[in-house]
Structure 1
């Protein structure tokens, strides 16, 4: 049974925010202040979406989205914003009033000593208050909350780290050590991750310069498999599904979103054909060189978010 609301939001590095209404094919563009966006969250309770602006290096929220209707280009009202603390933001994870942004800036200018930062903001009625900044011991990219635990992509590797009870355990500025880091056999370089109802989807960009070697890896019963893996160990390829090959149109899948009710993966593909938004149905029962079930051309696609009621 399909929902009356099936909205896929996508952002680009040229500052576009676009919504695809999957049921009827209507596309809506939103004019925002940013000229480079990476990271997106829609709140139906607030009828507002939040983006991470790489051009202004801050969080921005836009209001009254439903009232604007669908189709054409809309000019949403800007709501609360954060100060320009960020340098190279990559992803956004939300847990209640806490908004966490990953930043992959090389702090010491030495590529042999990778580090990243996690900016923890509290959303208030007047703005985004920067609560604290945490320095990670690796270059960070994608973020995802599972309950109170924050999972973070260890960029330039096939690994994912977890910080248990993240918000409460890290109230102050400091260098943080992950509680566990686990690799994924068969994966080259992780960027995006998304979790829903026991299933984690990881994106593999492969070689950054290649427009045809991307992949998706699907892990069912993710928490059990992650917990059973040793710190510094890996989850075997036999415990995952992998979508890869020329038919997939995956080159640099930089961001993903998974919806368990529809068992569909949406992908922000940054490089193939200049950029696309892709979708793969039956996500937990397919693998191999599978063509996408949906594709939209979108130059410089950077992030995706799916909303359904």
Structure 2
């Protein structure tokens, strides 16, 4: 997610991001700083990237070279977004985004990419020049055994170079760097795995185990996660075949709660906040971005209504069956990334 946080004020949004009205019309209110950049990037299984400008209410759709996209990272240093392409099974980066027009559909040119060596990529996490992709393809060809892989790339001016592949003994999906540690959801479970000092400690192709794994009480099946300002947010897709049983969990003071939980232990529900229910529009919340400064949770919702981008305010202070502050249709929504500077 974004790494630069500024003071938060109130913004009145226009029609690009809308309120939680049933017909997706009208105005919504979004806490942010109107004098600063505040973008929400969203990917789709149709390959496009949508950018919502939260200060001007403009919405821009970028048509990429990919036909299916899941996972995105925006780099303000070179004004590029990098996507995980499931159709090309590679990383693709597109630069010079701010130089393009806004508020219209745009075709963007591929800047750099990796070789086509992924199999079933799901999410991306970035630590400096290192780009890590979670790939949930069955490694050993045996569905009865749990496994997954992390592809570690180095970004250069000419492309993404695969440094090494780390295989783990659990199924993977969402990933997030917290400092130098990699946090990974354990797919098909309610668990979170932590791999300490991930890039430095894993420099060759190898099979490794998580440093620590904990359960998150109340979650049925987790997919997405994001960490900011000491708060962890994790999504629960529930039954993957249902479009109305999703939720997300917010864990404040996460570092201390994780430290107090032994390996194999559980962070209890009374140490969390859970948002779910028929008002939320959450069915399969596959990806999440959290901004601690505004206390906003942004969700890529895949199932409900064919795909939505949702936002919930006061995320760390209120549980329950609450309506999203923003409810925007986005067919095949697969990932979100919030950036501000």
TM-score range, shorter chain: over 0.9
Q: Is 1:269 aligned to 2:305, yes or no?
A: no
Q: Is 1:56 aligned to 2:88, yes or no?
A: yes
Unaligned runs of 5+ in 2: 1-8, 10-32
Cα distance between partner residues in 1 of 2:332 and 2:286: 10
Cα distance between partner residues in 2 of 1:227 and 1:116: 25
Structure 2 residue aligned with 1:118: 150
Structure 1 residue aligned with 2:57: 25
- How many residues align? The count is 309
Alignment of 1:1-309 (within 5 A): 1=9, 2-3=33-34, 4-309=36-341
SS of the aligned residue for 2:189 comes to coil
Q: Deviations over 1:257-277 (max 9, x none)?
A: 000111100000000011100
Cα distance between partner residues in 2 of 1:227 and 1:19: 37
TM superposition shift of 1:5: 1.8
TM superposition shift of 1:299: 0.9
Cα distance between partner residues in 2 of 1:74 and 1:262: 30
SS of the aligned residue for 2:258 comes to helix
Q: Could you list the structure 1 runs, at least 4 aligned residues long, displaced by more than 4 angstroms after superposition.
A: none
Cα distance between partner residues in 2 of 1:304 and 1:31: 16
SS of the aligned residue for 1:261 comes to coil
SS of the aligned residue for 2:270 comes to helix
Cα distance between partner residues in 1 of 2:75 and 2:139: 33
Cα distance between partner residues in 2 of 1:234 and 1:41: 30
- So what's the TM-score if we normalise by structure 2? 0.89
RMSD: 0.8
Cα distance between partner residues in 2 of 1:78 and 1:113: 37
Does the 8 Å contact 1:185/1:235 carry over to 2? yes
